[in-house]
Structure 1
């Protein structure tokens, strides 16, 4: 668990909600549920620092900005919830193409 500095808020990363995944790229043969999954979902040992006006940052990025999580309010424990944002993540298309390859390979093995 992250040690909080003065003013920081605990945060948790979650899969995309409807607002984040609507219109996101999903290759043929891949269940749309895969679009929701972000590479850091479930990570809860992070903290965010409020802006000067007291609001929390709207986006959190990882991997040099290639993976984006979007602020989606607070949970019952008071943690800031950030949801995977596939439409804003530059790496999303290449990750989904890789997932499509795995699904295609699995389908071929099943046919044999």
Structure 2
């Protein structure tokens, strides 16, 4: 793990909590647990810069702002915890539609007696 610079705090990216995924888009045939998953979940080699008051940013964005993680407090290791925010991520609907296609294809294969 890299050394932190002055004013930086370690952070970890986690799946969405109830607050983040409530009301998020979930296509038919896709288990709602898929809505919680963000593309960078589990990443713990992240650091954020605090402001003058020592507060961390409320949002962390990736992919030119298309994937958003929202600050959700600190963990036992005092890392800033950011949770995937599907309602704030502009790429969420397209990703979920792709997940729906995979689930539909799997269901068709199962019905045919395939994998």
TM-score by length of 2: 0.95
Question: Which residue is 1:57 aligned to?
Answer: 57
Cα pair 2:12 2:44 within 8 Å, conserved: yes
Cα pair 1:2 1:46 within 8 Å, conserved: no
Return the alpha-carbon distance in structure 1 between the equivalents of residues 14 and 2 of structure 2. Answer: 17
State how 1:28-39 maps to structure 2 within 5 Å: 28-39=28-39
Moved over 3 A (4+): none
Return the alpha-carbon distance in structure 2 between the equivalents of residues 25 and 103 of structure 1. Answer: 16
Return the alpha-carbon distance in structure 1 between the equivalents of residues 54 and 44 of structure 2. Answer: 21
Gaps of 5+ in 2: none
Return the alpha-carbon distance in structure 2 between the equivalents of residues 82 and 58 of structure 1. Answer: 9
Name the SS for the 1:71 alignment partner.
Answer: strand
Root-mean-square deviation (CA, aligned residues, Å) is 0.6
Cα pair 1:57 1:71 within 8 Å, conserved: yes
Question: Which residue is 1:83 aligned to?
Answer: 83
Cα pair 1:2 1:47 within 8 Å, conserved: no
Return the alpha-carbon distance in structure 2 between the equivalents of residues 93 and 20 of structure 1. Answer: 15
Number of aligned residue pairs: 112
TM-score by length of 1: 0.98
Name the SS for the 1:5 alignment partner.
Answer: coil
Kindly state the Cα deviation for residue 6 of structure 1 after the two structures are TM-superposed.
Answer: 1.1
State how 1:83-102 maps to structure 2 within 5 Å: 83-102=83-102
